[in-house]
Amino acid sequence: MTQPPNNSDEWYKDGLSFECSLCGNCCTGAPGFVWFNEQEADEMATILNIDAPTFLEKYAHKKFGRWTLNEVKNEKRQYDCVFLIDLPGGQRGCKLYKSRPTQCRTWPFWPENLKSSRTWKNAAKTCPGMRRVDANFYPVEDIRIILNQNEF
């Protein structure tokens, strides 16, 4: 795991704003991994009204000794998370939103996005929610708590 900067180097010490715009961009793109643990697998299986072994067989696979969600190739030759769905009004979201893995819950406050203002701005190029002027404000204390949740 990439370590967040120490407190004295927090370029985001004045806080950051973010609000999901339901664009789905964080759930599609180049092949990647959505890591989850056993508890999260149980929660996702419950939402789908199936047991955990069935969930793992149908929606996940192991990579590097860990569980990750499957991806589906889309018409744009990109890879969508298996749970990315189209919503009314051209929006896209998660079929399992209430039980999505921690990796998904903590976007965009990932260590690699918080390395510098440059890495934050780079991630914001594909995430309109990071550029919203009227977005929810996250003080630095909240960002630290979110960073501590990241185990992927």
Domain boundaries, the chain: 7-149
Classify residue 103 as exposed, middle or buried by CB count within 10 Å of its CB (0-12, 13-18, 19+): buried
3 state DSSP class of 84: strand
Q: What pLDDT, in 10s, does the model give residues 13-47?
A: 999 999 999 999 999 999 999 999 999 999 999 99
CA 151, chain centre distance (Å): 12
What does the DSSP 8-state code read for residue 80? E
What is the DSSP track for 34-71? -EE-HHHHHHHHHHHTS-HHHHHHHHEEEETTEEEE-E
Quote the pLDDT of residue 6.
52
| CA atoms of 113 and 26, how far apart (whole Å) | 13
What does the DSSP 8-state code read for residue 30? S
Token pair belonging to 120: 């934050």
Residues sharing a CB contact under 8 Å with residue 43, sequence separation 6 or more, in sequence order: 99
Instruction: Say which residue the tokens 């998370």 belong to.
Output: 81
> Across the chain, what does the average pLDDT equal?
93
**Higher model confidence: residue 133 or residue 96?**
96
Quote the pLDDT of residue 152.
67
One-letter amino acid of 18: F
